[in-house]
Every structure is written in C-alpha cells, then in structure tokens.
Structure 1
C-alpha cells in the first residue's frame, strides 16, 4: 500500500528589504510545543523550546546538566556556530541566522545563575550553539536573542522532545531550488535503545535540498504549484545544464543536528561516530552539505555505558552504534516534516 503524498506546505515568497526587528516589538518569549512530542528515556537529558510568535522564530536547547563530551562535524559551506567546546552542558539551536547566535549567550547566562554566580573552574558551564537562516520564510528581521535562549532553557524538561514547526525549526523550510517551491519543515527527533545503549537524535531541517523518505520519494520541498508535484532538484539542475544555463538555487539554508548517546567512546571514536551519522543523512536530504548550507552536527556522549564488540574492540562497537544512530537520524528528519 502506497502512503499518500503529504499535503503541500508552501512558504510565502520572501520580499526582502527594509523590515522590522526586535527593537520594534515588545517581545515576550512563548512556549513552543509544536504539533506533538517524541518521547525518550534518557535520564540526565532535558529539552526546551521557546519562540517569538511575531517572527515566527525560535530556539531549542538540549541540556545535559552533568555535561557531555562533544565532537562537532560541520560540513556545510555556510556555517554559523558559537562555542565549539569539546565538553558541553547545553547545545542551543536557533533561527535568525548570524543574529540568532545570541540565544546561546542567554543559555550560558542562565546556567551561571543556576551556579549562584560561582565562577571557579569546576562551576563553569559551557554552551555551544548554531543557527539556521529562516528569514526567507517571513517578512521581518526578528531574531532569537539571549532572552529567548534563557526561556528555552527554563522550559527544558526530561523525556519529551517537541517536534514540528516549533523551537529553532518554526520557520525552517526545504527544497529551495526556487523560493516559490519551498515548503515548511520544522524540527524532528527520534530515540532508540538497543540493550543498554541509548541514542537520541534531534534535527532542524532547513536545507536547500529536499526531504526524501525510505522509498526514495520526495516528501517535502521543490513543490511545483502548477503541476502539484514535488521533484528531485537533480532534474532541475540537469535541465539547466542541458540548456547551458546556471542552475537556479536559493541561498539561506542549514540543517542542524544533535546526537546524544550514553555509550562511552574515545575522542577519535566520538569524532568518527559523528561523521558517520552526519554522512548518512544525505539519504534523507538531497542535496546535502552544499556550499549554500551550514550543516552542523553535535555528537555528545555521557560516557555512562561501556559496550564492547564480540572481539572486545570498542571501535567496532562504535561503528555498529553509528549504523543504528544513522537510522535514528533518518527517522528524526522524517519526523520534522510529518
């Protein structure tokens, strides 16, 4: 039985020009629950979302109070990132392009307050963050700021990850061969436990490419309102080259991903684990890692569980975990556009 194609969610064509920003509004952070939540069983991990409805734009915070070793894999050609710490207590994802990086500062300030402003070494709390460009889906310059990042952390709770058009993904979109063909996406999440190993993947999908399901069907992006069909960008690119023209591709894209596991890994293993999962996501997002995307993945481990392969080689176990996490990542991408 073939699943019906999802209804179109076209993004308004941007006008770009003089517009209103944060200073023109009396902004108050609002909760950002999305269309539902993915449940996860991962003690020590909390998730919070907040939004400015006037944008709309938002922030998503993955909080690990005890801290987690981190490896960052940034492959897009237009990265927007702050922190880059190898050990983090929180990861902040936000809209607003480069102007949204301030949301991470709000998370950091809130964590400082929770430590009663103690600034000796053992009380320092580190936060890394990254942003998507979401201005093409709205007609203003409102950006996530420190107040919004702080609110997202304040609303962080264990066990549930809001999905859909919420948090950092509230104005995310995909399939920007032409702005008139782009469709809203959002943020997605998926969780899986295999034995004692836990994997939580969250992603904000805002690519120039389209979203592809496991049957190879384009389910979001590059929707032609005249034909009522979605198509793979390769068809558009090939037609342009056949006509000896430059392909039409719009700027302002990025997919952000956070992978959290409890499996202990050496630094090199964690790095390769992150790269393996990030590489796998090209199956769900096509094209991926383009010069017009700022694709970034944060891989975190809480180092709570030792998992050895049948041969006793931890590296082999990490490869297997990476394969499992790669499927969880595909589930997370698809949940962002459901």
Structure 2
C-alpha cells in the first residue's frame, strides 16, 4: 500500500458557490483506480459522479431483493428508507441533499417495472450519505439523475474502488482538517466453503485508518513532522485547549452474504462486523460521524460448521480489508 501523503484541502465554505441548478451537469462514469471482483450472482454495482463537485454515488442493486438489517451509529446519521428488505442501496456524497440520489434509483426501478405499482411490485431502496462538502468549494450534490445513471451503469460481480462513487471526495483523519487526507471507497470478498461475504465501505471518517500492524496509513498527517500520528496522541495534546470539533464525516458500509440467517442473526452479525471496524478506523462512531451498516443476505446456503458468531468473525476480517482497500 502506498503511504504517500494525499492531503485534502479544506473548503472555504464561501457563499454563492455553484449548486446543481447553476451548472449544466452531466453524469460521468466513476471507475476509480480499479475494481474488486466478487462471486455473488444477482448483485450489481454501479458508480457515477459529477466532476464539477466533485461528488458521486454508488448503487448496489439486487433485482431479486434481499433481507436487510441496519445498524446506524454515531451522532450524525443521514439515511432514507432503512427498510428490512431492499432491492437497492444507494450511497452518496452531498450530505442531506445527496439523499435525492436514492430517489432517482427508485424512479429508475419503477420505470424498469413498467410503472407497475401493485404492492408486490414495489421496489425498495434505502440510501445513506456522507458529508463531503468539507473537501470542496461547491454545493453540487448527487441528485436523482446521478442515482439513475449509477444504476444504469451497474455491473454484476465488480465493485469499483478508490476515489470514486460515493467516495469521490471522502477523507479521513480529521483531528484537525489541515491534517486530513483523501480516502475513498473500498471492497473485499471472501469465501468460506459455500458461504460468501462481500463487504464494501465508503471511508469518510473523523478517525485515521490503521493497518494490521497498528500503523496509521491514511489521515492525521503532520506536514511539519512528515509523518502521521495516532489520533490519541493529538487528543492528549489538546486536553485543556479550545480546539474546534471537525464536522463532516461518516463511514458507510454494505455487507452482503449468501448465508441463510434469521432476522435476529442477521442484525447481530451486522452489528458484530460494524463494531469490528473500529480496529481499522480510530476513533470510530464519534459524535460527528453518521456510521451506517447495511447487512444483507440473499438466503441461498445453510451455515455449516460454524455459528453466526463465527461468520461475523470471518466477515470482520473482510471488513478490515475493505477499509484498507478504500485508502490505497
């Protein structure tokens, strides 16, 4: 993994910057630096961005639908839907305004169903957003048209990673914003016998990203030192000062498995994996984060040899890989 600094310039938050209505926006592909392959038939992933932002969205589409458990933590959650069954999940930048991207996904799915509105034809879409205005000087946000584009460009078996989609201007390590670095979205996939697990995450955290050797690999970079520090060292130095809290964060995660789990088991495995991510992001679930996990199952295979706790333990390692993938 490269550890070269990737500093994020803080926004000036000047009034009068352009928003969507002020620009002739056209959705653009958002391929990132590459993709992670996964073997979960029926799971499609698409990304799109507005380069004028820059900002983007990521759509995970499961045409057959999947049971879903949501674990939303932190003090600044931005979410729509939150259903216990979904046909698509839309992750986006743009904070509360970016929730309109999920509405665009919903509209596109209605069109694909030939405008059928019978109860059992309704397409359920949940959305969640990160606050990415802090790294750019525009008010452009992912809207319905961008959500529709991401869905139209979705492919089966590939998850784009890097500075793309919802992670287009994500950043990490914000003890002080002058030390933040660009992050992105990442993914990892694992198989354990017949069991399969995909974890994808958009890292836009207060916390810095930590590898398995305990090194800070992204965020909280001190230019004067030419190195990154663990946030705990900086917070210790700030005790007794009037340091301002850095706003504009949130890590969004989607975990998809093919294992048959009860509703209670699915929720608890999701919580277990979400909790484990504090190893790779420190601190995590803070007052100014809106960390949200969508745990989904396609209900295809029985869990043999291990209990749900074991599945959660294995999936937690996949989640750490996904975090590291996001910041390469």
Distance 2:14 2:202 in 1: 26
Matched, 1:297 2:287: no
Query: Aligned match of 2:11 in 14, 19, 22?
Result: 14
1:102 matched to 2:100? The reply is yes
In structure 1, the residue corresponding to 2:307 is in which secondary structure?
Answer: helix
User: C-alpha separation between the residues in 1 aligned to 2:225 and 2:11?
Assistant: 22
Q: Which residue of 2 aligns with 1:277?
A: 273
The runs of at least 4 consecutive aligned structure 1 residues that moved more than 6 Å come to none
Q: Tell me which residue corresponds to 1:327.
A: 317
1:47 aligns with 2:45: yes
- Alpha-carbon distance, 1:13 to partner: 2.2
SS of residue paired to 1:68: strand
Taking only aligned residues, the RMSD between alpha carbons, in angstroms, comes to 1.0
For 2:183, the equivalent position in structure 1 comes to 185
| Counterpart Cα distance in 1 of 2:22 and 2:225 | 40
Does the residue aligned with 2:316 lie in a helix, a strand or coil?
Answer: helix
Q: Give the Å deviation of 1:40.
A: 0.7
- Distance (Å, rounded) in 2 between the aligned partners of 1:137 and 1:40: 31
How many correspondences in the alignment?
Answer: 327
Q: 1:298 & 1:109 partners in 2: Cα distance? A: 21
Give the C-alpha shift of residue 239 in structure 1: 1.0
Paired with 2:271 and 2:288, the residues of 1 have a C-alpha distance of: 19
Equivalent position to 1:288, from 284, 291, 294: 284
Distance across 1 between alignment mates of 2:308 and 2:125: 25
TM-score, length basis structure 2: 0.98
Shift of 1:245: 1.8
> Which position in structure 2 is the counterpart of 1:75?
73
CA distance in 2: counterparts of 1:303 and 1:246, whole angstroms: 51
Give the CA deviation at 1:227: 1.3
The whole-number CA distance in structure 2 between the counterparts of 1:331 and 1:58 is 23
Deviations 1:253-296 (A, max 9, x none): 00000000000000000010000000000000000000010000
| Contiguous gaps of at least 5 residues in structure 1 | 310-315
TM-score normalised by length of structure 1: 0.95
CA contact (8 A) 1:14 1:138 kept: yes
Structure 1: distance between partners of 2:238 and 2:145 = 45
After superposition, the C-alpha distances for 1:213-247 in whole angstroms (9 at most, x for unaligned) are 00000000010111111011111111121xx2244
Question: Paired residue for 2:130, among 103, 111, 132?
Answer: 132
Aligned partner of 1:93 in structure 2 is 91
Question: What is the distance in 2 between the residues matched to 1:246 and 1:189?
Answer: 38
Contact 1:14 1:179 in 2 (8 A): no
Q: 2:111 aligns with which of 110, 113, 118?
A: 113
Alignment match, 1:306: 302
Structure 2 stretches of 5 or more lacking a match? none
